[in-house]
Structure 1
Amino acid sequence: MAAYIPYGAYWSTPFARWQGSLSHLHSMEFLAHTAKKELAARNLDLDLFDFAALGITMIQHHSFYGLPWVTAMMGAEHLPGPTINQVCATGARLVATGMGEIAAGNSEVSLLMSGDKTSNAAQVYYPAPHAPGGAGVTENVMFDNFMDDPFAKCAMVDTAENVARKFGITTEEQHDVALYRHEQYQAALADDRAFQKRYMAAEFEVPDAKYRKTMKVLEGDEGIYPTAPEKMAGLKPMREGGTVTFAGQTHPADGNAAIVMTATEEKAKELSPVPGGPTIKVLSTGSGREDPAFMPAAPILAAKQALERAGLDMAQVDVIKSHNPFAVNDIAFARAFQLDWKDMNNYGSSLIWGHPQGPTGVRAIIEMIEELELRGGGIGLFQGCAAGDTGMAVIVEVR
């Protein structure tokens, strides 16, 4: 069963590089603050919603209370729902969850939200009473997990190196991708950020931690460094004998994003803040899991499944967006489907604007919808990898 997204009933904050202008904010409080303002700006009353889901991957103080706390802070105390973590695939999983609730007849209008931050990650102590002396284990929730998959026994960058070897991907190719993705992102900044303003505030007011005053105004993403071929050429691979440099991977970030979903096309038209806007139909989702330590290749499996479920083949897809934490992701995906990687990720991708985890896929799906609208409609495929050598994909039709 398909679901629908009211055109314009979605948004993203700017993404700020970790330890930047959003690092002082509790991600769940910040999400509630943003969602309340953005819904009001679109004249979407909280009483419209009968289901909501929260995507969060980096634990926060009191995050045990999950979605019900976020909706209560928004003033939607009637609104229940789950808290979801599928690491980097959380955005796609939110879409799949919304579709599932609609298919089960449990929801007519859903609010799918994700707020995350990689700044100041939690330091956790796990008691171990049966260990020698009862000494427990400590963990930096972000750093330690990025650096050590407990099953594959490697860091995430090692999974990129494995895929690079499998597909014969060189450092030079990765740098070519990174440079081209920077150029594509510039198109989103053209004409005073005309593309980004379709879903992001022109001037985003950053609140203080108590939400009493504005500390700063962001005009777009923060912390994206300019680059050049000469600068990249001087970088050494992170692993001895490897290919992946710092230029060929994304940076941690903070931010939030959300999408409204409806059970019917009629309801989507009614709730769209843009009268006469296009119809956005979610056709399918897919997921896949690769061999251990081959994470960047997992979206290939997820995309194949999503295409099969939608009854489509890749030749029918007009726009492809990816969560590409490594440039390796896009090269491997393009080779698997005999595509040109230059035809993917117009207007930007997470390789450039950063990766706050949960919201990353949500923003990419929003940008995909807007690109399809600009081209007059068509089929869009979002795909991305996630920790644990998994991947997810989402296919939408805009007409």
Structure 2
Amino acid sequence: MQQAYIVDALRSPTGKRAGSLAQVHPMDLGAHVLKALVARNNIPAEDYDDVIFGAIDAIGPNAGNLARFCWLGAGLPESVPGVTIDRQCGSSQQAVHFAAQAVMSGSQDVVVAGGVQNMSQIPINTALYAAAELGFPDPWTTAESFRARYGEQQLSQFAAAEMIAKKWGFTRADMEAYALESNNRALAAIEAGHFALEVVPYGNFSMDETARRSSLEKMATLQTILPNGILTAAISSQMSDAASAVLVCSEAAVKRYGLTPRARIVHMSVRGDDPVWMLTAPIPATRHALAKAGLRMNDIDRVEINEAFASVSMAWLQELDYDPARTNVNGGAIALGHPIGATGTKLMTTLLHELERSGGRFGLQTMCEGGGLANVTIIERL
């Protein structure tokens, strides 16, 4: 099997909800990162084989195969195709997997994997809400096959995060302490310039605006999301706006265009878990990936696990017995946002740059995804 190399990775700055990117069309935001990626790599634009973009809620400005039109919006050749995929929160991480699989199979040599989401314009589940207005209610509780297996349970990420906190014994105070550390790490990383090489400014907007200067005292005053729950906005990922992209190439392309690969994709897999618990899949998925790759957690120098909720990352850390000091070292989605379709390659971009900054060898990325799924990618810095 051929190797798949990461040649480049970049992202836009992340805008907070109703912030600096709120009025930017998703097509324009995706076009921005694609144009920058092509401009800074020595590959003729017509030689790109495919553009695979993650984006969820394909409605309004997200509809009509957004990947294709992001490429066209960038002024790039009409001959290059594009496809938009939805694996919920893991959509653009799955885009990396599809790109690498195409390269490893020998069918393609130069593939862009990425994603875009403007959640200020299209909040999560907009498509479901729109369908409900047309007379199509919750698809899970109305489907006989789902009810036969899981009963009348509605799938709720908030309920799942609460269940995880209860099962693993995390208090609200525990999770607020975790969230505060995420924000403090993000603020420190921004001030130290750790994101400077990975972010492509959008006009005058040049750096993430999501990290909060908060305190445990302030967090303690927030209202819970669910009645009688412990989950609050402070210990949840932020709805945000961003785009990101990773360039995946074959060895033949590396030689043909005189490229310098920055990392090798060592392993990629996706696994499922209980869809009602929904957010626990990164735990078994990581164990599966390590076994397939012949690695142990001690071999991994840096981890990026998406902080959908504090309880998700905390449970993963506890179960995998991994060092928190090597996990989300520049902050996570609680501080830096979770622009769903873009998050996978956003985290991959940060992971690659962090390995280069720290001199680490192996990096692992995982995230929970709607339906009880989790992608895991392991890369090796070259």
Residue identity opposite 1:226 in structure 2: R
Q: Which deviates more from structure 2 when the two are superposed, residues 262-271 or residues 157-166?
A: 262-271
Question: How do residues 8-47 of structure 1 correspond to structure 2 at under 5 angstroms?
Answer: 9-47=8-46
Q: Which residue is equivalent to 2:301? A: 318
CA gap of 1:20–1:391, structure 2 versus 1, over 3 A, is: same
- Alignment deviations for residues 96-124 of structure 1 (CA, whole Å, 9 cap, x no partner): 10121112221111111211111222566
2: CA distance, partners of 1:166 / 1:225: 28
Question: How do residues 116-265 of structure 1 correspond to structure 2 at under 5 angstroms?
Answer: 116-121=117-122, 125-126=130-131, 136-137=134-135, 152-191=153-192, 194-201=193-200, 203-205=201-203, 217-264=204-251
Instruction: Please state how far the C-alpha of 1:136 moved relative to its aligned partner.
Output: 3.4
2: CA distance, partners of 1:265 / 1:183: 43
- Alignment deviations for residues 367-386 of structure 1 (CA, whole Å, 9 cap, x no partner): 11111112223110001001
SS in 2 for 1:281: strand
Instruction: Please state how far the C-alpha of 1:42 moved relative to its aligned partner.
Output: 4.1
2: CA distance, partners of 1:269 / 1:197: 29
- Alignment deviations for residues 177-198 of structure 1 (CA, whole Å, 9 cap, x no partner): 111111211232134xx21111
Residue identity opposite 1:253 in structure 2: S
Query: Pick from 355, 367, 386: which aligns with 2:338?
Result: 355
2: CA distance, partners of 1:62 / 1:334: 34
Residue identity opposite 2:17 in structure 1: W
Residue identity opposite 2:135 in structure 1: V
Question: How do residues 317-336 of structure 1 correspond to structure 2 at under 5 angstroms?
Answer: 317-336=300-319
2: CA distance, partners of 1:346 / 1:119: 27
Instruction: Please state how far the C-alpha of 1:340 moved relative to its aligned partner.
Output: 3.6
Is 1:375 paired with 2:376?
no
Question: Quick check: 2:12–2:244 contact (8 Å CA) kept in 1?
Answer: yes
Q: Which residue is equivalent to 1:72? A: 72
Question: Quick check: 1:330–1:341 contact (8 Å CA) kept in 2?
Answer: no
2: CA distance, partners of 1:321 / 1:69: 29
CA gap of 1:288–1:153, structure 2 versus 1, over 3 A, is: same
SS in 2 for 1:198: coil
Q: Which residue is equivalent to 2:90? A: 89
SS in 1 for 2:281: helix
2: CA distance, partners of 1:258 / 1:150: 40
Moved over 6 A (4+): none
Instruction: Please state how far the C-alpha of 1:51 moved relative to its aligned partner.
Output: 2.2
- The alignment covers a number of residue pairs equal to 364
Provide the TM-score with structure 1 as the length reference. 0.84
Q: Which residue is equivalent to 1:296? A: 279
2: CA distance, partners of 1:204 / 1:62: 19
Question: Quick check: 1:125–1:137 contact (8 Å CA) kept in 2?
Answer: no
Provide the TM-score with structure 2 as the length reference. 0.87
2: CA distance, partners of 1:297 / 1:62: 28
SS in 2 for 1:283: strand
2: CA distance, partners of 1:244 / 1:77: 47
CA gap of 1:152–1:258, structure 2 versus 1, over 3 A, is: farther
CA gap of 1:226–1:269, structure 2 versus 1, over 3 A, is: farther
Q: Which blocks of at least 5 consecutive residues in structure 2 are unaligned?
A: 139-149
2: CA distance, partners of 1:162 / 1:109: 43
SS in 2 for 1:258: strand
Instruction: Please state how far the C-alpha of 1:66 moved relative to its aligned partner.
Output: 3.8
2: CA distance, partners of 1:107 / 1:185: 37
2: CA distance, partners of 1:48 / 1:367: 26
2: CA distance, partners of 1:218 / 1:150: 47
Instruction: Please state how far the C-alpha of 1:126 moved relative to its aligned partner.
Output: 4.4
SS in 1 for 2:89: helix
Question: Quick check: 2:181–2:331 contact (8 Å CA) kept in 1?
Answer: no
Question: Quick check: 2:274–2:372 contact (8 Å CA) kept in 1?
Answer: yes
1: CA distance, partners of 2:191 / 2:151: 43
SS in 2 for 1:360: helix
Q: Which blocks of at least 5 consecutive residues in structure 1 are unaligned?
A: 128-134, 141-148, 206-216
Question: Quick check: 1:250–1:326 contact (8 Å CA) kept in 2?
Answer: yes
Residue identity opposite 1:204 in structure 2: Y
Q: Structure 1 vs Structure 2: percent identity of aligned residues?
A: 24
SS in 1 for 2:117: strand
Q: Which deviates more from structure 2 when the two are superposed, residues 376-385 or residues 49-58?
A: 49-58
Instruction: Please state how far the C-alpha of 1:301 moved relative to its aligned partner.
Output: 1.7
Is 1:53 paired with 2:55?
no
Task: Supply the RMSD in Å over aligned alpha carbons.
Answer: 2.6
Q: Which residue is equivalent to 1:214? A: none
Question: Quick check: 1:288–1:302 contact (8 Å CA) kept in 2?
Answer: yes
